[in-house]
Structure formats: C-alpha cells, structure tokens
Amino acid sequence: MQQRVEFHARADRALHNPQIRSNFRYAMDGLIDKRKRSFPDLDELNRLRLRCAEIRVNALSKLPELLEQLEACCTKNGIQVHWAETVGEANRIVLDIMNRHNAKLLIKGKSMVSEEMELNHYLEQQGIECLESDLGEYILQLAGEPPSHIVAPAIHKSRQQVAQLFKEKFPDIPYSDDVDRLTRNARHILRRKFYEAPVGLSGVNFAVAETGTICLVENEGNGRMCTTIPPVHIAVTGIEKVVEKLSDIPPLLSILPRSATGQHITTYFNMITSPRKPGEKDGPDEVHLVLLDNGRSRIYEDQELIATLRCIRCGACMNHCPVYTRIGGHAYGTTIPGPIGSILEPQKAGLDRYGDLPTASTLCGACGEVCPVRIPIPALLNRLRFERVRQDHTGVTRGQGSQRDPWEARIWKGWSWMHANPAIYRLGIGLAAGLRWMLPKRLGAWTRVRSAPRLAAKSLHKLAREKGLDHE
Amino acid sequence: MSLRTGFPEQPARVYFFGTCLIDLLYPEAGLAGIQLIRREGVEVIFPQNQTCCGQPAWNSGYRDEARAVASAQMACFPRDYPIVVPSGSCAGMLRHHYPELFQGTPQHKASLAFSDRIFELTEFLVQVLKISLSDVGKPVKVALHVSCSARREMGVAGDHQALLRQLKNVELVEPRRREECCGFGGTFAVKHPEISAAMVEEKATELVATGADTLVSGDCGCLMNITGHLGYRKETLQGSHIASFLWERTNAAES
C-alpha cells in the first residue's frame, strides 16, 4: 500500500500547483488541436489505424521468430546484437562497450528505454558522464528531473521556467526567454560535445526484421548526430519494437508523428542498417543493438494483455487523458506515465508496486479512441483492476491479487448479494426512501466539492407499479 | 466493440431498464422516458425484478460479483423485446461488456443475444421510433453534456443533439472541451476524489460559461456529479435528464 500513498501525495501536489495545471492544460489543448487538424479525413484515419494495428498485431503474433530474424539480419549487416533480460543486464552491456573503448562520455539521443534502465544514473556511478542532446531531455538533465511526457519530456515547464533554469546554470549567457535564443544557446553548448563523445546512444522507433534496419524518428537532428558522429553507436530498445517487413514502415511513419505532435512527418527520419562501410564518408565504426525484455515477455504470454505491447510511443493517449492533464506525468511515478503507462508499468514492475495506477482513470475512453494502433486501453485498465484483486492467482501478471482489501471485498460481496436478489433490493430501496430524511448531508470526499444527492421519495420501481407497468 | 448499423422497425412493446441511479435519485427521468415511448404507441414493460447492471463491480475488478448481478438482470427480460436504457453508461455495460463478462461461461451465447437487444433511450427515440417532437415550452438556452459512454461506447451523441434540435424554442449550446470527461467515473470519484474534484470544477466552469439556463445530459452519473458541484457553488444553472427535459417541453398537459 506504500505506492498508493505516494501516488495520491504526488497527484495532490500537482493538483494544487497552478503552474503545473496551466502548463499541462495549455500544452495538451495545443497537442489535441494539432492532432485533430492533421487528420482531416476521419475515414482515412480509421483505415490507417486498422492497418497499423494489423502490422503491430502481426509482429507480436510471431515475436520470437521475428527477433531471431532481426538478430540474424543485423549480424549479417555488421550490427552487434545483445540480449538483456533485465535492466541490470542492459546497463552492464552498455558499460562494457564504453569500457572497451575507454569512453568517459556518452552523448544521448532521446530514449525512453534508457530512462527505464536509469542508464545515466548507473553510468555516472561508474565515473562516466552522460549528456542528453535532445533539448527537452537536456533541460531536464540540467534541472535534475525525470521526463513528464514521453514525446515532450519537459512539457511541464513553461518557457519562463526554462529561461530561469538556463540563467542559473549558465550565468555567463545573457538571460532570454525567447524560444529561438534558448534553443540556439543549447545548440551551441551541445555541438562541441558531439565531436568529443566517443560513444553515442539512441532509442529505436521500429526495428525491421527482414532487413535488420533500425528506424529513428526525431525533430532536432541530434538523433542523427548521436548515431553518425561518435565512432560507436549503441541503440537500446524493448523487444516489442520489431516489425516484420520494410513495407510495414510507411503506414506507421504516417500515423506516428500525426498522432504525437500533429506533424505530417518529422524533420528527421533515420534508417540505420550497418556501421560505416569502406568508402563511406560518415557513420560509426561500430553499431550495437541492445534488446531489452524487462517483463515484456511475461506480457506477451497473455492473449488479451499482449495488446499493451503494440504501443508505438506516440503519447496521444496522455495528451487526451483528462487525468494526465490534471496531474501531469511525474505524479505517476513511472518511466511512462498516462493511460499507456498505467497498463504497461504495473505489468512490468508488478501490481504490488503500481497497483493504484489502473484505478486512476474514469474509463472515459478518450485514450482508446485516439490510439493509432487501437490498443483497447480502457478494457486493459479494467482487466488489470481484475488482476489487482483476483484471488485464484492463475494469471501471468506479477503482484496479482496484491491490492485485494478484505473490507472492500466484503462490501462488494454484500453489494452483489443485494443486487442479485430483487426482493432484498426492493426492500433496501424502500427503506432508504422511507428514511431519506436521516441521510447525512456530508458524504466523505464526495461532498467536499458537491452538495449531497437527494434520494427520491418514491423509486422508479414504485412509480412503475403504481402505473401498472410491471406486467404485460 | 462495434456500433449498431441497422435498426429494427418500431416494435409493439419494449422492456425498460431503469438503472439504479434513476431508481434512487431521478425516478421522474425514468418515468419521462417511459412516457415518451408510450406516447409513440409502444407498450412499455418495467420488470420489477431488475436492479443494477453490475457496472460498479465490473469496473472495480470484482467480476464474480458483477456476474451474479448481471445473471439476475438477464433473467428479468425473458422475451425478445428490445430493452431501452435511459443511460449511455448502463447501456454500454449491458450492450458491450456483458459478452466480455460472460466470456468462457455457459451464459456467453445468451449474453450476446441479450446485448443485441439493448438500446440507449435517445438512440431508440431517434433511430427506431423516428420520433417527431413539438415544443410547447418557452424559449430557453440549453447546454448539452454528452457522457463519455454515450459518446464513445454507444455513439449516440448525434441522437442527443438531434432530439434537442427538434425543439424550436430551445437554443442548444455545448461547452468548450465538450468531449472531456466530467470526472465522475463511478468508483473513481471515491478512490481519487481530488482528481475527480479538479475535473468537475473545470467542467462546471465551462458549462456555466455557456450562459445556458439548463444543463441537459443523458446520464445521471454525470448529472449527479456536475449538478452536485453546481449546487455546492450555488450556481443558478439547473440540471435535467434529457428524458425529463424532452417530456416537459413536449407534453402540453404539464406546461
């Protein structure tokens, strides 16, 4: 129950922080609007969603085979493939590569898997400096904070807050809250580092099994720099990012940026298929691909929950989530926040750790409606609500049953008994109506911001009986 | 989950599933829904053994408990008449989640047939009865709040609008961010009261900003949440279930 207190405490802090509230509201309104305008033809959107869901379902249906094919093709192309079952193993693989090259500086493109690994923290303990080169991630590194959104990691900060942060960290640079100037300053600081760093790290948006190609979507060009300038490139990814064919990429690339930021295409799209070949003018001498499991193969085991792994990390579900918009990403306490985080993270780390997250939703359905690969997020939230209180322990989810509170369970048993027995129910509502004057005016948290509901003098059951509507 | 594409002819009689919230808090809305259907020449039967669709337990993860209640409901509507439900949320449970709830049980086939007979009230009035309303009320400005289940699960937001647009003295408005949830979410409001409060505060502010005299919704969960907060803030905006509102506007005897 430790997690519950933490989630509620963090959510309350965010709810009472007007700056957080307005930063998220403003940013989410903008992202919702941009996405909407980038899909003017709803029929096209629905066809594309069906196609992309099909691509992801197909890939997951033969995940083990495709991963083996990916490994074989990458190896043939000269990319070194590493398997990691845990984040600890993945971190050690990266460290070994760094050590082999005597590298003390790692320059990073944006990677949520490296956040999942807490790679920066791990490497810094080993005396290796990590530098985030994505502007949002760089801002957060300066501030010492984790991302609050998977696509726009520093979205919880206003332009003025970023300007203030730069002023504190770089007193020599004149203060400015102009976005272009701030970007130029960061670019200036980072550019030198690209030439100094012996190793660059990136995430992976899609990995193509049939060609052994790593695909990387980005807007700032830092991804291309990280993957081409340093002599060594390490790509880290979850095992679920694989797709079968190269022809699967165009539909996914058509839906991902539009769902994420409303862009028809990102500024950069990188396809990496090998290290630098003889005669080529640029590119790294070594390319490594680290494939991380960290609980994903357990999710793969369940034919309903496997849909969680379709995710292409566009962030549309959080942009459209009324809960995320109110509390922001940090309140979730997970690498990935929002609706997709609330189904993914409890499955990875266990319901004993994140058992509260599946309940932090009104099941309004906005997330499922916008998901580009049609993950039925509300249905999976409901499923995990079952997993968190189930008693038979026959599921695949870690921590199943751990959130079962004996009192709550007894209340539901009683509730069920009453509503499955019509005579008891009618007696109950009759009594409640008769004694309605006794009902308290205050009903816990409900009446903190609401007046108490008033029971009717006569139930619909009674009105219908009086009107003779109860029989044919 | 698929939305209904074809609709049946007007039946001779239907069952009415009143929902537990209407039963306890808004019985006049249930009665208004029944009267709207009867006025079109359709007989309405309200089986006395109905209680609740079971959604609270289903959404809380207590599936066995939900199934026991759902079984009892299916037994209340033995003939193959359509079942009309004055709530997008309860209709969504009966129509889309009963087959999930009974998956892998001997009742699965029965639950599919049962769910196929479920109609949300405004959907039934517009698509099956093709109702034609004539407004006898005074000019009024109405803000519509469509519940998330009515909008997304049942796909009946258009039917809500179509009914209100038939009323010549009603000016229909919708709030900014009309598609955003009001923050009720059943047990969500109990488990996460602070987040729920933040959501209903903003929803109420947007509704008040429309300048409407009346708030109309097809779901009593949203109404209880939003009007509860409006009452707490002592706003003048009053709430009404769409069935009550339509009946009052079109029933000459009462106005």
Mind giving me the DSSP string for chain B?
Answer: -------PPPPSEEEE---HHHHHT-HHHHHHHHHHHHHTT-EEE--TT----SHHHHTTT-HHHHHHHHHHHHTT--SS--EEES-HHHHHIIIIIHHHHTTTSTTHHHHHHHHHTEEEHHHIIIIIS-------SPPEEEEEE--HIIIIIS--HHHHHHHHHT-TTEEEE--TTTTS--S-TTTHHHHSHHHHHHHHHHHHHHHHHTT-SEEEES-HHHHHHHHHHHHHTT-S-EEEEHHHHHHHHH-TTT-
CA B116 to each of CA B101, B124, B151: distance values in angstroms, whole numbers, following the listed order? 15, 13, 18
Residues of A in contact with B72 (CB under 8 A): 419-422
Suggest the residue from A449, A454, A455, A467 to mutate for an interface test with chain B (most B CBs closer than 10 A).
A449
Q: Which residues pair with A230 in a beta bridge?
A: none
Mean pLDDT of chain A: 95
Touching check for A382 and chain B: CB below 8 Å? Answer: yes
**Cβ–Cβ < 8 Å for A305, A299:** yes
For residue A401, name the pLDDT band (cuts at 50, 70, 90).
very high
CA B102 from centre of chain: 23
- Whether the per-residue pLDDT at A439 is higher than 90: the answer is no
Average pLDDT rounded to a whole number, residues A19-34: 97
My answer on whether A320 and A350 are in the same domain is yes
Number of C-beta neighbours around residue B220 at 10 A: 28
- Whether the per-residue pLDDT at B48 is higher than 90: the answer is yes
- Give residue A1's pLDDT: 45
Short-list A367, A311, A235, CA closest to A59: A311
CA B96 from centre of chain: 15
Residues of A in contact with B15 (CB under 8 A): none
| Cross-sheet strand order for the sheet of B140-145 | B170-173, B140-145, B214-217, B238-241
Touching check for A452 and chain B: CB below 8 Å? Answer: yes
My answer on whether A363 and A342 are in the same domain is yes
Residues of B in contact with A359 (CB under 8 A): 187-188, 191-192
Does some domain include residue A329?
A: yes
**Cβ–Cβ < 8 Å for A403, A388:** yes
Cβ contact A8–B192 (<8 Å)? yes
My answer on whether A264 and A135 are in the same domain is yes
For residue A437, name the pLDDT band (cuts at 50, 70, 90).
confident
Touching check for A424 and chain B: CB below 8 Å? Answer: no
Please state the ipTM of this predicted complex: 0.96
My answer on whether A400 and A376 are in the same domain is yes
What is the H or E stretch that residue A231 is in? none
Q: Which residues pair with A242 in a beta bridge?
A: A207
Cα distance from A61 to chain B (closest Cα, Å)? Answer: 21
Residue A436: give the domain boundaries: 416-466
CA A296 to each of CA A151, A318, A464, B166: distance values in angstroms, whole numbers, following the listed order? 21, 21, 53, 53
Cβ contact B51–A471 (<8 Å)? no
Residues of B in contact with A392 (CB under 8 A): none
Quote the CA–CA distance of A296 and A369 in Å, as a whole number. 24
- Domain stop point among A367, A384, A404: A404
Quote the CA–CA distance of A433 and B79 in Å, as a whole number. 31
Cβ contact B224–A415 (<8 Å)? no
- Whether the per-residue pLDDT at B220 is higher than 60: the answer is yes
Closest chain B residue to the Cα of A400, Cα to Cα = B61
Residues 6+ away with beta carbon under 8 Å from A41: none
For residue A449, name the pLDDT band (cuts at 50, 70, 90).
very high
My answer on whether A331 and A439 are in the same domain is no
Cα distance from B121 to chain A (closest Cα, Å)? Answer: 16
Sign of the torsion formed by the C-alpha atoms of A409, B115, B79 and A463: positive
Q: Which residues pair with A81 in a beta bridge?
A: A289
**Cβ–Cβ < 8 Å for B245, B216:** yes
Percent pLDDT > 70 in chain A is 99
My answer on whether A197 and A223 are in the same domain is yes
Using the CB atoms, write b or e for A49-63: b if 16+ within 10 Å.
Answer: bebbbebbeebbeeb
- Give residue A472's pLDDT: 66
- Whether the per-residue pLDDT at B51 is higher than 60: the answer is yes
Cβ contact A450–B225 (<8 Å)? yes
- Whether the per-residue pLDDT at A130 is higher than 70: the answer is yes
- Give residue B2's pLDDT: 65
**Cβ–Cβ < 8 Å for A325, A25:** yes
Cβ contact A15–B192 (<8 Å)? no
Percent pLDDT > 90 in chain B is 96
Cβ contact A362–B184 (<8 Å)? yes
Residues of B in contact with A15 (CB under 8 A): 194-195, 198
pLDDT digits (tens, 9 = 90+) for B131-186: 999 999 999 999 999 999 999 999 999 999 999 999 999 999 999 999 999 999 99
Residues 6+ away with beta carbon under 8 Å from A385: A358, A359, B59, B60, B61
Average pLDDT rounded to a whole number, residues A39-54: 98
My answer on whether A196 and A214 are in the same domain is yes
Using a 10 angstrom Cβ sphere, with 0-12 exposed, 13-18 middle and 19 or more buried, the burial of residue B156 is: buried
Touching check for A438 and chain B: CB below 8 Å? Answer: no
Number of C-beta neighbours around residue A363 at 10 A: 25
- Whether the per-residue pLDDT at A452 is higher than 80: the answer is yes
- Backbone phi, then psi, for B199, in 5-degree steps? -70, -45
Quote the CA–CA distance of A158 and A156 in Å, as a whole number. 7
Tokens of B17: 């599933």
pLDDT digits (tens, 9 = 90+) for A232-286: 999 999 999 999 999 999 999 999 999 999 999 999 999 999 999 999 998 999 9
Touching check for A409 and chain B: CB below 8 Å? Answer: yes
Total number of domains constituting chain A: 3
Using CA atoms of B18, B24, B25, B29 in order, give the dihedral in degrees to the nearest 10. 20
Q: Please, what's the largest Cα pairwise distance for chain B?
A: 54
Residues of B in contact with A332 (CB under 8 A): none
Q: Is A355 helix (H, G, I), strand (E, B) or coil?
A: coil
Cβ contact B72–A422 (<8 Å)? yes
My answer on whether A14 and A131 are in the same domain is no
Does some domain include residue A305?
A: no
Quote the CA–CA distance of B88 and B148 in Å, as a whole number. 8
Cα distance from B63 to chain A (closest Cα, Å)? Answer: 7
Does some domain include residue A411?
A: no
Does some domain include residue A262?
A: yes
**Cβ–Cβ < 8 Å for B34, B83:** no
Average pLDDT rounded to a whole number, residues A295-319: 98
pLDDT digits (tens, 9 = 90+) for A144-194: 999 999 999 999 999 999 999 999 999 999 999 999 999 999 999 898 899
My answer on whether A138 and A57 are in the same domain is yes
Quote the CA–CA distance of B83 and B98 in Å, as a whole number. 14
Average pLDDT rounded to a whole number, residues B12-18: 98
pLDDT digits (tens, 9 = 90+) for B108-126: 999 999 999 999 999 999 9
Residues 6+ away with beta carbon under 8 Å from A168: none
Cβ contact B59–A12 (<8 Å)? no
Quote the CA–CA distance of B182 and B205 in Å, as a whole number. 11
Touching check for A453 and chain B: CB below 8 Å? Answer: yes
Residues of A in contact with B48 (CB under 8 A): 422, 426, 461, 464-465, 470
Of residues A376, A390, A461, nearest to B23 (C-beta) = A461
For residue A435, name the pLDDT band (cuts at 50, 70, 90).
confident
Cβ contact B23–A460 (<8 Å)? yes
Of residues B30, B63, B188, nearest to A460 (C-beta) = B30
Q: Is A242 helix (H, G, I), strand (E, B) or coil?
A: strand
Quote the CA–CA distance of A116 and A290 in Å, as a whole number. 13
Tell me the three-class secondary structure of B21-66, residue by residue. Answer: HHHHCCHHHHHHHHHHHHHCCCEEECCCCCCCCCHHHHCCCCHHHH
- Give residue A224's pLDDT: 96
Suggest the residue from B48, B85, B97, B244 to mutate for an interface test with chain A (most A CBs closer than 10 A).
B48
**Cβ–Cβ < 8 Å for A84, A113:** no
**Cβ–Cβ < 8 Å for B37, B124:** yes
Residues of A in contact with B71 (CB under 8 A): 420
My answer on whether A219 and A348 are in the same domain is no
For residue B4, name the pLDDT band (cuts at 50, 70, 90).
confident
- Domain stop point among A294, A325, A356: A294
My answer on whether A328 and A462 are in the same domain is no
Q: What is the CATH number of the domain that holds A178?
A: 3.40.50.10420
For residue B229, name the pLDDT band (cuts at 50, 70, 90).
very high
Interface size A-B, in CB pairs within 8 Å, comes to 203
Cα distance from B85 to chain A (closest Cα, Å)? Answer: 13
Quote the CA–CA distance of A307 and A297 in Å, as a whole number. 12
Does some domain include residue A154?
A: yes
Cβ contact B23–A429 (<8 Å)? yes
Quote the CA–CA distance of A97 and A236 in Å, as a whole number. 13
- Give residue A469's pLDDT: 86
Average pLDDT rounded to a whole number, residues A365-387: 98
Q: Which residues pair with A215 in a beta bridge?
A: A206, A271
- Whether the per-residue pLDDT at A3 is higher than 80: the answer is no
Quote the CA–CA distance of B178 and B189 in Å, as a whole number. 20
Touching check for A461 and chain B: CB below 8 Å? Answer: yes
Tokens of A117: 């690994």
Average pLDDT rounded to a whole number, residues A324-335: 97
My answer on whether A66 and A198 are in the same domain is yes
- Domain stop point among A381, A404, A427: A404
Of residues A369, A412, A420, nearest to B62 (C-beta) = A412
Touching check for A399 and chain B: CB below 8 Å? Answer: no
